[in-house]
Structure 1
Amino acid sequence: MFTPVIDAVGGSLGLSALCAILPLIGFFIFLMVLKMKAHWAALSSVGVALLVGIFLFKMPANLAFLSFTEGVAFGLFPIVYIIWMAVWVYDLTVKSGRFEDLRTIFSKIGRGDMRVQAMLIGFAFGGLLEALAGFGAPIAIVAAMLLAIGLKPMKAVLVTFVANCAPVAFGAMGIPVTTGGLLTQIPGEQVAAMAGRQVSLIALIVPFILALIMDGTRGVRQTWPMALLLGITFGGGQFLASNYFSYVLTDVVACLLSLICGVAFLRVWKPKTPEDQASEIDASTIHLSGDRAFLALFPYLLVVVVFSITSLWKIGVNIPAALKSTDIKVQWPGLHGHLVNQAGEPIPNTIFNFNWLSTPGTILFFCGLITVLVYSLAAKNSNGEYPMSFKAGFSQLAEGAYKMRYSALTIAAVMGLAYVMNLSGQTASIGAFLAATGTIFPLLSPLLGWIGTWVTGSATSANALFAQMQSTTATQVGVSPTLLVGANTAGATLGKMMSPQTLTIAANAVNMENGERKIMAQAWKYSLGLLVYICIIAYLQSTPILGWMVVG
């Protein structure tokens, strides 16, 4: 039997917390100073966490290694599985040639104004990609698309970065939120609802920042009606979906709502477009039939419909409950029952939930199958313009697995690191020490999430590293754990544009060889400015001023 204690090192909380943070400091040094690849940095940090857990926190070696294996298993399923399936659905649109039609749709609806197109492509469409793919793919795709319509490389990157802030919290079908909930034992729906009440306030101002980046104060003056509409509809969609609908569809709902409203608004409103803001692509000369437009949007519309049914349908058959009933609870061998809390009760994190059918990954797999079928049938009448077959569709599945092999290894290692730190007591020790900051801690809470994404490049990894710490500290200082886990998620969305991985992806997408430092020199003010904004919101939500916004 092993019971984690917060003052394991010399009976001192301060010394224990200092030792407990060594794996995180190690991760930063391995990644940022020694320039290791992310997966090697994560695995090296696991080694540090195991040493600290075994020799300083006195966790039996076998339990420490078993904690790591459970974390790896959780990283691979459901997290990597969901991402793999989401990327597959997106890849099918590219492989079939439908993605080019998707680009044309956005060029046509922007009415030739690059500022409006930047909002629609970067914000609405980029969010849709983030909802499905995540993990850097939307950054590369959107930056390249903006470059194609005429933006300068630096401007294309900055627009992409800022636009990507709003959807990251619910990216890859809500994986960052799901991770935070599972690690803290707070229901994912509750974490999502709280995060939705924070990141929606970021979404509200993002279109105005995009207009400012594109064309300074003139851009804001001339496009503010569209910026206001997109901010309200995107933020409102995030709030409604995360609180009252299905949080895995939060970004999809927000993006489609803002896109539909934006397109409708452009039928009655046209911005005054200066010559230097006119798009280089004349989409008016490109004919796009209704069938082509529908098929380009088909996978995304299908995802909304299928997830709506599996999340909400309770007439006759309670589909969500039926899917949930297939979950298999696995008491992790050798670990469950050997880790107990101070009351002698088994720690719940040692039960692995194998939700093979109810996981969004399996639902996305069926969406992918339907997409392959529809695209294959449509290909027969396309004269080779839109090639697709079952063989090609499934080859994309294999290619996707190969393409994300290192990302998968990184995620699995980071989850293993999180489990070792959580179950050995390291995270609780850091949390208890941070509680000494008292009621001021909520002001700093989003900063931890920001640091997590800055170092790892992933909001999911940021929640894996810090969600449990946030929850523990919240209990210590007397504020809602849900509030601080949500704040960690919100802060994590803003650190992505400063992450080395993201900077490299963006630089390559716009052909800025070795341009990472130049991009960072321009991006930091937007990242830190928005971080201060969300820190203030999180703090006010911990006080009576905005306390009414807290879930639960």
Structure 2
Amino acid sequence: MYQQDFDPAGSLGLSALVAFLPLLTLLILLGGFRMKAHWAGLVSLLVALAGAVFVYDMPVPQALDAGLLGSGVSVLIILWLTFNAIWIYNMTVHTGHFEVLRRSFASVSEDRRIQAIIIAFCFGALLEALAGGGSPIAICAVMLGVIGFDPLKAAAMALVANTAPVAFGGLGNPITVLATTTGLPAEDLGAMAGRQTPLLAMLVPFILVFMADGRRGLREAWAGALIGGVSFGVAQFVFANYVDYKLCDIFAALVAAAALILYSRFFLNSKSVGTTKAPAGQAHPDGESSEGGAAGGVTADGGAAVAVTATAEVVDTRRQQFLAFAPYAVIIAVFTLAQIPAIKDLLAEGTVVFAWPGLDIVSPSGEAVATNYTLNWASATGTLLMLSGLITAAVLRIGPAQAARIYVNTMRQFGWAIFTILCVFALSYVMNLSGQISTLGVWLAGAGGFFAFLSPIVGWFGVTITGTDAGSNALFGGLQAEVAQQLGAHPVLFGAANTSGGVMAKMISPQSLAVGTAAVGLVGAEGTLFRRVFGWSVLLLLLLCGIVYLQSTPVLDWMVVS
């Protein structure tokens, strides 16, 4: 048996420094040395193992076994999900229907910056609401590449856009998990998060426009960014507070998309502002010539996508457009049906929970630490996506043999990204089960009233190492509630701050970076991609820290759910 010790060095500050080393190593190797994510993840895992064994006195077999548990968890909640999401996309590429989808998005607006908001912000939020995981990053990165953005820029924009819906992604799963770890009502936590993240979601379209076209983009496309951001934020607030947090992102995405479509149809296109077909000699938003740019992404065979030239002259039939949108309509239908109580209960019967062999861990107080593995093979998001893929294959008339070949090529396309995800999940579980994560949390709690400012940072670190907002809430949700009780603060405020802060780290987590680079055919460029999005992550995090701190004071305490 291993008993955790949150202060093994005899000094909480020194213990926190040891616990922080794996995270610091990961950030420096990715951002400073631009090391490939799989090697950075492996080195950081070794640092975490060294700290667990030599400082925290965790037995070597249990430390290694903790890493195996983490890798096993990643197979179900990340790899299984992402493979199936990209498989669906690759089938649409194979049949040519993805080009129809691209032209449909392009027909909404001639301004490629507005197209980027609709694809990455609105459509990505819808995918995040339904499936979560890495699916919106992967699919939207490829779609942005197809409309002409540089592959690396496309991946960066998809990552930044994915911050807006994450707190309520997967039909509100992060909030649901947070409620179980804090013992607080899920409705209150969802409402509180709905009074934090919408304020930042309103800024995301402006960031996307700036990434696409710099200051010129802000000057020319600010109105579209404002309409998209405000409509999304208001809808997210309303549904989180007055309807159902589980439906929050679905309707926010649809409302924002509808607002942008109306704006483009009745104002923007009629004014011919910032069109995709730029004037002679004028560059596209990402610096390409106005004669057509290369589309990033990967083909169904796993290779780099070939250059795509704008084909505005092509007119698609209604049947072609129906088939292009059919896969995503299938996903919506499958996930909606899966939420019907009778079906949900039936799927839940396939869940198997068992204690992971070889792990016997207790907390400093002597309570057993959960080391269970939940094999929810029937209700898992990846399984529902697999079912959606099978239906999609039938709708698009793809034979079983061809669908299987596309699936195999989809797995090959990820390559080293698979190893990265396995390593980083192993890292998170070694840090958590050895007690390193709790050490960091206890150390931060010593900040007293200023912890309100630091509270989102705890969630930010949680997502950095776990890759999911739900994972961060599972790690730190209980800690946030406990610290709030010790300080006499609002536990709902700190709990929601954990999930809201984690949102800002989604774009820099190694799992997200690995999915993004794999999707656009640039595996190994994770360090470069990290540098492109890290500044945005920190900027949004600091803004949120300020908001949460003010919500803990008389200035904005009227916003706190009572």
Measured against the shorter chain, the TM-score band is 0.7 to 0.9
> Is residue 293 of structure 2 the alignment partner of residue 286 of structure 1?
no
> Is residue 6 of structure 2 the alignment partner of residue 2 of structure 1?
no
Q: CA deviation at 1:263?
A: 2.6
CA RMSD of aligned residues (A): 4.3
| Aligned amino acid, residue 145 of structure 1 | V
Q: 1:60 to 1:517 in 2, by over 3 A?
A: closer
Q: Counterpart of 1:539?
A: 549
> Is residue 483 of structure 2 the alignment partner of residue 476 of structure 1?
yes
Q: Counterpart of 1:263?
A: 261
8 Å contact from structure 2 (residues 6, 436) kept in 1? yes
Q: CA deviation at 1:13?
A: 1.9
Q: Counterpart of 1:206?
A: 204
How far apart, in 2, do the equivalents of 1:189 and 1:425 lie? 27
Q: Counterpart of 2:73?
A: 74
| Aligned amino acid, residue 327 of structure 1 | T
Q: Counterpart of 1:374?
A: 395
TM-score (norm 2): 0.77
Q: 1:157 to 1:438 in 2, by over 3 A?
A: same
Q: 1:158 to 1:355 in 2, by over 3 A?
A: closer
| Aligned amino acid, residue 117 of structure 2 | M
Q: Counterpart of 1:137?
A: 138
How far apart, in 1, do the equivalents of 2:205 and 2:501 lie? 23
User: Which 10-residue stretch deviates more, 299-308 or 180-189?
Assistant: 180-189
8 Å contact from structure 1 (residues 299, 371) kept in 2? yes
Q: For residue 196 of structure 2, give the secondary structure of its aligned residue in structure 1.
A: helix
Q: Counterpart of 1:487?
A: 500
Q: 1:409 to 1:537 in 2, by over 3 A?
A: same
Q: For residue 316 of structure 2, give the secondary structure of its aligned residue in structure 1.
A: coil
Q: CA deviation at 1:98?
A: 0.8
How far apart, in 2, do the equivalents of 1:402 and 1:194 lie? 42
How far apart, in 1, do the equivalents of 2:215 and 2:47 lie? 50
8 Å contact from structure 1 (residues 459, 489) kept in 2? no
Q: For residue 476 of structure 1, give the secondary structure of its aligned residue in structure 2.
A: helix
Q: CA deviation at 1:117?
A: 2.8
Q: 1:448 to 1:328 in 2, by over 3 A?
A: same
| Aligned amino acid, residue 2 of structure 1 | Y
> Is residue 307 of structure 2 the alignment partner of residue 309 of structure 1?
no
How far apart, in 1, do the equivalents of 2:356 and 2:62 lie? 11
Which of 431, 456, 463 pairs up with 1:421? 431
Q: Counterpart of 2:366?
A: 344
Q: 1:135 to 1:67 in 2, by over 3 A?
A: farther
| Aligned amino acid, residue 197 of structure 2 | V
- Tell me the alpha carbon deviations over residues 40-92 of structure 1, each in whole angstroms, 9 at most, x when there is no partner: 32233222222222222122333222222221211112332122222222222
Residue-pair matches, total: 519
- Tell me the alpha carbon deviations over residues 350-372 of structure 1, each in whole angstroms, 9 at most, x when there is no partner: 12211111111111111110000
Q: For residue 85 of structure 2, give the secondary structure of its aligned residue in structure 1.
A: helix
Q: For residue 483 of structure 1, give the secondary structure of its aligned residue in structure 2.
A: helix
How far apart, in 2, do the equivalents of 1:22 and 1:180 lie? 27
Q: 1:410 to 1:399 in 2, by over 3 A?
A: same
Q: Counterpart of 1:26?
A: 25
> Is residue 357 of structure 2 the alignment partner of residue 333 of structure 1?
yes
How far apart, in 2, do the equivalents of 1:178 and 1:38 lie? 29
Q: 1:324 to 1:156 in 2, by over 3 A?
A: closer
Q: Counterpart of 2:343?
A: 319
How far apart, in 1, do the equivalents of 2:64 and 2:175 lie? 24
Q: 1:471 to 1:27 in 2, by over 3 A?
A: farther
Q: 1:370 to 1:213 in 2, by over 3 A?
A: closer
Percent identity over paired residues = 34
Q: 1:179 to 1:525 in 2, by over 3 A?
A: same
8 Å contact from structure 2 (residues 182, 495) kept in 1? no
| Aligned amino acid, residue 485 of structure 1 | N
Matches within 5 A, 1:458-537: 459-460=467-468, 468-469=475-476, 471-472=478-479, 475-476=482-483, 478=487, 480=491, 482-493=495-506, 495=508, 526-537=536-547
Q: CA deviation at 1:119?
A: 2.7
Q: CA deviation at 1:193?
A: 6.4
- Tell me the alpha carbon deviations over residues 428-458 of structure 1, each in whole angstroms, 9 at most, x when there is no partner: 11211111222223323444665677x77x8
Q: 1:5 to 1:174 in 2, by over 3 A?
A: farther
| Aligned amino acid, residue 141 of structure 1 | V
Q: 1:408 to 1:170 in 2, by over 3 A?
A: farther
- Tell me the alpha carbon deviations over residues 409-428 of structure 1, each in whole angstroms, 9 at most, x when there is no partner: 22222222221211121111
How far apart, in 1, do the equivalents of 2:529 and 2:68 lie? 40
Q: 1:405 to 1:467 in 2, by over 3 A?
A: farther
8 Å contact from structure 2 (residues 514, 526) kept in 1? no
How far apart, in 2, do the equivalents of 1:322 and 1:18 lie? 47
8 Å contact from structure 1 (residues 467, 485) kept in 2? no
Q: Counterpart of 1:381?
A: none
Matches within 5 A, 1:360-371: 360-371=381-392
Q: CA deviation at 1:234?
A: 2.8
Q: CA deviation at 1:374?
A: 0.7
Q: CA deviation at 1:258?
A: 2.6
> Is residue 376 of structure 2 the alignment partner of residue 355 of structure 1?
yes
Q: 1:101 to 1:189 in 2, by over 3 A?
A: farther
| Aligned amino acid, residue 438 of structure 1 | G
| Aligned amino acid, residue 315 of structure 2 | H
How far apart, in 1, do the equivalents of 2:171 and 2:382 lie? 11
Q: For residue 7 of structure 1, give the secondary structure of its aligned residue in structure 2.
A: coil
How far apart, in 2, do the equivalents of 1:373 and 1:518 lie? 36
User: Which 10-residue stretch deviates more, 127-136 or 262-271?
Assistant: 127-136
User: Which 10-residue stretch deviates more, 265-274 or 54-63?
Assistant: 265-274
Q: 1:375 to 1:210 in 2, by over 3 A?
A: same
TM-score (norm 1): 0.78
Q: For residue 329 of structure 1, give the secondary structure of its aligned residue in structure 2.
A: strand
Q: 1:19 to 1:212 in 2, by over 3 A?
A: closer
How far apart, in 2, do the equivalents of 1:218 and 1:224 lie? 10
Q: CA deviation at 1:144?
A: 2.0
How far apart, in 2, do the equivalents of 1:97 and 1:121 lie? 18
Q: CA deviation at 1:373?
A: 0.7
Q: Counterpart of 1:300?
A: 328
Q: 1:134 to 1:238 in 2, by over 3 A?
A: farther
Q: For residue 366 of structure 2, give the secondary structure of its aligned residue in structure 1.
A: coil
Q: Counterpart of 1:119?
A: 117
Q: For residue 373 of structure 2, give the secondary structure of its aligned residue in structure 1.
A: strand
